[in-house]
Amino acid sequence: MAKSLLQTENEKQKIKEQLEELLQNCTNCSEESKLKIRKAFDFANHAHMGVRRKSGEPYILHPLSVAMIVASDIGLGEDSICAALLHDVVEDTEFTTEDIEFSFGIQVAKLVEGLTKIEEVFDKTQSKQAENFKKILMTLGAGVNTILIKLADRLHNMRTLDSMPAKKQFQIASETFYLFAPLAERLGFYEIKIELENLSLKYYEPEAYKSIKEKIDKKELESKSFISGFEEPIIKKLHEADIEFVISSRFKSVYSIWHKMQKKNIPFDEVFDLFAIRIVFKPTAGLPERTQCWAIYSLITEIYRSKLERLRDWVGTPKTNGYEALHCTLMGQGGVWVEVQIKTERMDEIAEKGIAAHWKYKEAEYSTKELDNWLQQVRESIINSEDNAEVFVDTFKTNLLAPEIYVFTPKGEQKLLPKGATALDFAYEIHTEVGNHAVAAKINYKLLPLNHVLESADQVEIITTRTQKPKKEWLDFVATSKSKNLIKTALKSDVKEHSKKGKKIIDEKLSELGIQPSARTYRKLVDAYKQINKYELFSNVGAGLLSLDNFNKVLRENTPQKWVQYWSMQLGLSGRNKIKDLRKKVEEKQQNVEKHDKIDPKRTYMIKEDNTLDYTIAECCKPIPGDEIIGFANETLTTVTVHKKKCDVASREAAKHANKIVNIQWNVHKILSFLAILEMRGIDRIGILKDLTDIVANQLNVNIRKLNIESHDGIFEGFIELYVHDLEDLNTLIKKVQSVKGMDSVKRVEHSIK
């Protein structure tokens, strides 16, 4: 943002038109509510007067656009619309939360406060981004509206990201990938989720985005007649059954296609379900909607064959965010698979409007139990978490935003857990005491340990014993924040009891010797028994982990004075001064090094063969010259870790540590070599290994580090690890290897199978 000229007449007209459009979209607002919204606009317009965005447009257009998304796309009421208009006022102007409360009431003020970024980092060693996100999540205690407005804010920022520097674009796109798109999906806003993903990819992988977008546009033109031909017999069949419906088609999003290509390591042409057909029907009153969805499925599978392993019944078991639909994949003309989604008008509105539509349908007794349970889990994880903000955000991402599985109790009661949850997580989901006393589990009637990872539809019975207590190692394999917090609470309770018991044992022993307990005495014992502090001493004694052998002798021999005498003899009288001088010299040298060698995140660095930049190649993605890369400085700003831009680890780092991002570029490398790994698959034959090594080692003169090939049933699979100068060399090598007789596919991968 920057101060600039006042609004031009054209800009004033544009602002006025957007305000009127906003008010027209407030369909559920009374005239009194609309007056309050106008007042909020006037307040924000005055506060931001003369301020412009990086794009050059008046700043007020941003909160107006956010308010429009809140009103039309999300469907929130007057207080949320007012908060959207005012969301940057407290952060960017001289007005305070108290001013907002005075003019618009406490509810609007609370929403604005939740949306206002923290002014300083609570813990200077931690991520400010994580602190901000945790602060926003904490407002869930008062309601979910703050998060929804924040999603609208992020969506508009992503729509206008063109004007930002490339480094900022990458950071914001990574943050959106990592947290905001999954959050939109969890809350049921699929359209917002899809747009956030696509916009993120546009800045995260611009070349891939452009390429896939062009291919989709071309395919759409080519597929019009195919889609029309596919839909025609379905339309006829549904009309014959007197079903009132709307049928439509849409291509999968750029991001979803890119994600599938990355996950399966396949080119665009091998993504078989590029588009989906959607059937949205008006249900017949008095008949269960699920039954009617299956009836339509039955009708259309009389025409087309269904791929059963791709059948998804989300009408019988809705997603946690409330999404309901029946998805099937059908074989169309010419051997093309087509996804078909079957849903009622209500289901479709929930998919479009997310949690806001749930509130509308609560009166119709459509359950929002799972979504309400999830929100309660978020609140509990915030209240109970003692982790710093960065750890909390990671836990939130991997636990509360993770894909889910459904498992069952012995009596058939359904429980929802994140993917990766273990039998012990299930135990704690049943009850705290069941978890605390769990010793094993029967999963589908088979006895298995507590760390066994569950799968959807597992039936689980927990075996307990009264003598069992939570163990520290349990923290290493539980997946849910609820389990971790309950285990930590139990361990702390045990430590407290052990500590109390241990102190009593030590004090009684001291009393027998006629010694008064004191901090000085406890320190002697801590040193003698090699404990960290007196609390560890008490706890270990109380737990029976530490025996007080030679108690009398320890008290007599271990005195602070003896240690002072020892160091005095070793160093002499001037020893202390010598240590001070040495420490001073080390500190001066360190400061001198930092002054000259510290990395400046604002600069762009070239990675040359004679480079003085201290860098390491990230093991997670193994970039080589020619790959698009991004760097992350360490805490002391002395070294840089180099990642591929599309690396998941890089995305997570950028989402949490924008201040550590370093712009780096490759220079030409003709001496240094970098490790690359190829995955190969083909038809086995005699001599294929010799041909392969001849091309790589002899013809191309490439150094092989490891070669591993396995053959089974006439098919060979393997990996080759080798050193290349750059991406051009690697692509040349791939083409050569691909030409080996019998070779079916050669792909670059990041890890070989150990």
What distance lies between CA 243 and its chain's CA centroid?
41
Tell me what pLDDT residue 608 has. 79
Q: What is the dihedral of CA 525, 531, 532, 533, to 10 degrees?
A: -30
> For 662, how many CA atoms within 13 A lie in the half-sphere containing its CB?
26
The most confident of 18-32, 487-501, 595-609, 696-710, by mean pLDDT: 18-32
Average pLDDT of every residue of the chain:
83
Q: Are strands 715-724 and 615-617 parallel, antiparallel or unpaired?
A: unpaired
DSSP labels for 59-85? Answer: TTHHHHHHHHIIIIII---HHHHHHHH
Helix segments in 410-466, DSSP class H: 423-430, 432-436
Is-contact 672 725, C-beta < 8 A? yes
Q: Which helix (H) or strand (E) holds 33?
A: helix 31-47
Which is higher by pLDDT, 235 or 116?
235
Q: Is the pLDDT of residue 436 over 80?
A: yes
221 CB burial (10 A radius; 0-12, 13-18, 19+): exposed
Residue 646 to residue 748: CA distance in whole angstroms: 14
Neighbours of 693 (CB within 10 A): 13
**Residue 598's beta-bridge partner residues?**
none
pLDDT tens across 662-671, in order?
Answer: 888 888 777 7
Catalytic residue among 17, 20, 21, 91: 91
pLDDT one-digit tens code per residue, 208-259: 999 999 999 998 888 888 999 999 999 999 999 999 999 999 888 999 999 8
State the CB neighbour count (10 A cutoff) for residue 121.
15
The average pLDDT across 89-97 equals 90
- Average of per-residue pLDDT across 546-553: 76
Calpha distance 480→29 (Å, rounded) = 41
Contact status, residue 390 vs residue 656, Cβ threshold 8 Å: yes
Catalytic member of 11, 57, 92, 191: 92
pLDDT band at 140 (very low <50, low <70, confident <90, very high): low
The whole-number pLDDT of residue 387 equals 61
Is residue 592 over pLDDT 60? no
217 an active-site residue? no
Instruction: Assess contact for 196 and 180: CB atoms under 8 A.
Output: yes
Asked if 309 is an active-site residue, the reply is no
**Identity of residue 495:** V
Q: 312 vs 327, 352, 684, CA distance in Å?
A: 5, 19, 38
Report the alpha-carbon distance of residue 424 to residue 42 in Å, rounded. 55
Q: Give percent above pLDDT 90 in the chain.
A: 32
3-state secondary structure 227-283: HHHHHHHHHHHHHHCCCCEEEEEEECCHHHHHHHHHHHCCCHHHCCCCEEEEEEECC
Structure tokens at 439: 């010793």
Alpha-carbon distances, residue 414 vs 312, 370, 459, 636 (angstroms) = 18, 11, 9, 50
Nearest residue to 96 via CA among 118, 108, 81, 113: 113
Taking CA atoms, 174 is separated from 178, 376, 397, 500, in Å, by 6, 27, 13, 48
Determine which of 44-48, 63-67, 136-140, 276-280 has the lowest per-residue pLDDT on average: 136-140
Give the mean model confidence (pLDDT) for residues 17-42: 91
Element housing 328 (H / E): strand 326-331
Better pLDDT: 110 or 536 = 110
Query: What is the C-alpha to C-alpha distance for residues 225 and 354, in angstroms, rounded to an integer?
Result: 33
Residue 733 has pLDDT above 80, yes or no: yes
How do 615-617 and 640-644 pair as beta strands?
Answer: parallel
User: pLDDT by residue (tens digit) across 302-317?
Assistant: 999 999 888 999 898 8
Please choose, from the candidates 182, 175, 189, 280, the residue with its C-alpha nearest in 3D space to the C-alpha of residue 238. Answer: 280
Structure tokens at 611: 């480079």
Q: Are 103 and 116 in contact (CB under 8 A)?
A: no
